[in-house]
Copies of this chain bind each other. A is one copy, B any other.
Amino acid sequence: MPVGLGPLPTLHPVAGFRLGIACAGIKRAGRKDVVVMQAPAGASIAGVFTTNAFCAAPVTLCKQHLGNAPRYLLVNTGNANAGTGQPGMQAALRTCDELARLTQVESGQVLPFSTGVIGELLPADKIIAALPQALENLAEDNWAAAAEGIMTTDTQPKGASRQITLGGQSITITGISKGAGMIRPNMATMLGYVATDAKVAQPVLQHMLRQAADLSFNRITIDGDTSTNDSCMLIATGQVSMTEIADLDSSEYAQLAEAVNAVMLELAQAIVRDGEGATKFVTVQVNGGANRDECLDVAYAVAHSPLIKTALFASDPNWGRILAAVGYAGVPQLDVEKIDVYLDEVCITRNGGRAAEYTEEQGARVMAQAEITIRIELGRGDISETIWTTDLSHEYVRINAEYRT
């Protein structure tokens, strides 16, 4: 059961951006597993992708096609088309070719995305057969159905939406994402799509996406496994009558970026809340670092420790495991006598030892909550970093032991 993840919020349509859904029967008949998204001519599209060297065939193609003024995004679930070599590349290209033929664009203007089992050849024929169905129901108000259409082991669809006013014009930013395992995004998550009707120059949009991803999808981890297929796209349809945002220092950029950041953070956190087997939503905040890298090293050491994750699952304030993880995070010349650790507002460790006033009851009370913040004060400088993660439960083991059965 997802932690603190309510029903899908209202997802405002984005002028000029249409979504269509189909059931291709890739893994199971009758399941929504193909989504086509259409951007208008002249839209700006930005993308960030996995840094996994074994990136999937569609990721390779997306990177190649991103410069071709793309018009269509084609997503399938049930098969990741990763580790499939040249046959996988050919299969992905065939789906692009066919969607391009049906829509009268160039094949290079189609961006393909796949998610699901790694190492099995993409069933291109099934996807191609489903394309007319997806194109028939292309509509601006199809975000909720598309959020369902990109799910794999997610238990709930994930979406977020904001509306802001920019220079007197109402601007919409809407996005969807999916998790829910092999999650330690490195550049993006697998998968996120955010669109706005604002008018933004492509290089500026790419900058906005990169920054937003660094503060959202690149700050979550479920199991430390960086996927082969992580992709996050930001589309600006430019349908609102406004001057194109082309200046990173403009107030328009700042306002839009803030809203995009908020949407992407909500989408990223939704992935954590619905992480495989998650029973806790955990914020790991590291303050007082000398630099960003050491803050993140400490935060990820804590977030990836199976011992801390199982203690979180058990609601056991076993704070010694937190100290141990801080200690092995590799921070150079770490002075353990400067370190304080808090569970929410309860100080459990002060100056590297158990806080004098701390009682197990206080720790147990915080650990019993569904949402917990672990705060670590390093006392080395003034840099902070925050990431979000989950616990490690029996359910995580069950889901991933049975994934292919």
A interface vs B, CB < 8 Å? 51-55, 80, 82-88, 117-120, 181-182, 184, 186, 223-228, 304-307, 310-311, 313-314, 316, 318-321, 323-328, 331, 334, 336-337, 349, 351-354, 392-394, 396-398, 400-405
Instruction: Flag if A328 contacts B83 (CB, 8 Å).
Output: no
7 A-B pairs closest in CB distance: A118-B320, A85-B353, A54-B327, A119-B320, A314-B401, A310-B400, A226-B328
> What residues of chain B lie closer than 8 Å to A324, measured between beta carbons?
52, 54, 82-83, 118, 182, 225-228
Question: Taking CB as reference atom, which chain B residue is nearest A354?
Answer: B119
In the complex, chain B residues whose CB is within 8 Å of the CB of A325? 225
Chain B residues with Cβ below 8 Å from A328 are 51-54, 184, 186, 225-226
Q: Assess whether A323 is in contact with B353, with CB atoms less than 8 Å apart.
A: no
Selected from B85, B225, B397, the residue in CB contact (under 8 A) with A321 is B225
Q: How far is the CA of A219 from the CA of B318 in the complex (A)?
A: 27
Give the chain B neighbours of A184 by CB distance below 8 A.
328
Listed by A's residue number, 23 A-B pairs whose Cβ atoms lie within 8 Å are: A52-B324, A52-B328, A53-B334, A54-B328, A54-B352, A84-B353, A84-B354, A88-B353, A119-B318, A119-B320, A182-B307, A224-B304, A225-B305, A225-B321, A225-B325, A226-B328, A228-B323, A306-B392, A307-B400, A310-B397, A311-B400, A318-B404, A394-B397
Q: CA separation between A184 and B328, bound complex, in Å?
A: 10
Closest to A360 in B: B404
Q: Once the chains are docked, how many angstroms separate the CA of A326 from the CA of B82?
A: 13
- CB contacts (< 8 Å) of A51 on chain B: these are 328
B228 touches A327 (CB 8 A): yes
Q: Which residue of B lies closest to A82 (CB)?
A: B320
**A353:B404 contact, CB within 8 angstroms:** no
Chain B residue numbers with a CB within 8 Å of A404 are: 316, 318
Q: Is A83 in contact with B320, judged by CB distance below 8 angstroms?
A: yes
Is the Cβ of B349 less than 8 Å from the Cβ of A83? yes
Chain B residues within an 8 Å CB radius of A305 = 223-225
Chain B's closest residue to A353 (CB) is: B85
